[in-house]
Structure 1
Amino acid sequence: MSDADDDEFHTFVTGRWPSLLRTAYLLTGSHHDAEDLAQSALARAYVKWEKVRHSDDMAAYVRKIMIHVHADGFRRRAVREWFTARLPETAVADRTAQVEHRGALVDALARLPLRQRSAVVLRYFEDMTPAQIAAAMGTRESTVRSQITRGLAGLREDGVLAALTGRPQEAPEHPSAPVALKGMPR
């Protein structure tokens, strides 16, 4: 192939890769197998590039190649399951509670204002320092610290942190509750 053909193939791959990968995923049901399938189809398309580029619809031609590659692989696939009297798996702890906690935490984070949510996620899930967060968010470090503090307070008020740690939720003070003045008992 000439350099112009290589450039045209590269442009095609760059523009169509997400679509081809999506189609491959729908065919295989696995991200890893989808990448392999898309790459195999593109390798075959590269060999036949003259035919592909002169077709009416290059993307359709490559999808057709992909379907044939997938069918060929499916036909050649050997059975990799063996039937035995005992199960080889070991018992695994039930992780249902973790899934529930994660879902509750994600929901609570979604209820926080955007800047608070961003600061909390970057600090506690991405393990970034306040200085790194400030640079990423384009703000001052003191603003980041206050956003983190407010975000954590919002999560506490939401009851999520209490549920995740197993501690009872603190009851909010009633607005008419007596206020202790400095140096004065309640």
Structure 2
Amino acid sequence: MREIASGFREYATARRSALRRTAYLMCGDWYLADDLVQDALAKLYVHWRRISAAGEVDPYVRRMLVNGYLATHRRTWRREITTADLPDRATNTNPDDGTRDLLLQALASLQPSQRTIVVLRYWEDLSIEQTAAALGCSTGNVKSQAARGLDHLRAALDSSGVLKGEPA
């Protein structure tokens, strides 16, 4: 049992921050990203012996992140609380994060499935086949959704002047 815990602990320690960044890019919320990673790692721990023996740890965890994100997105309307007062936004002191903010806004405007495909293909650098396997869809779907997502991102960034070299 200690051997299982040790192997899992090593994996979780080595991959947690990368998984958190991937989850953040999917959902756009650091707190939800933490929850998604925690849930995925908890599910992984239960099946660690089988998954690690098969050598399919990263694809399994990615699938759990995707499933968790899409499930959360489907039930978001149940958790949403409307308020009359909007919270103040924190001011950014980083002079270069205007472009980053525009990119994150453009990414957030994608449909959840498109966003997930773009993140897995271009952030996680998965092949079309690996992305299709992670999502349980066809490679044709991955190709078309990735192309549409990139077109949307390109249009959003082009209209803001980022692609023309203008400051954000």
For the aligned pair, the TM-score class normalised by the smaller chain equals 0.3 to 0.5
* Larger relative contact order (CA 8 Å, sep ≥ 6): 2
TM-score, normalised by the number of residues in structure 1: 0.43
Q: Which has the larger radius of gyration?
A: 1
TM-score, normalised by the number of residues in structure 2: 0.47
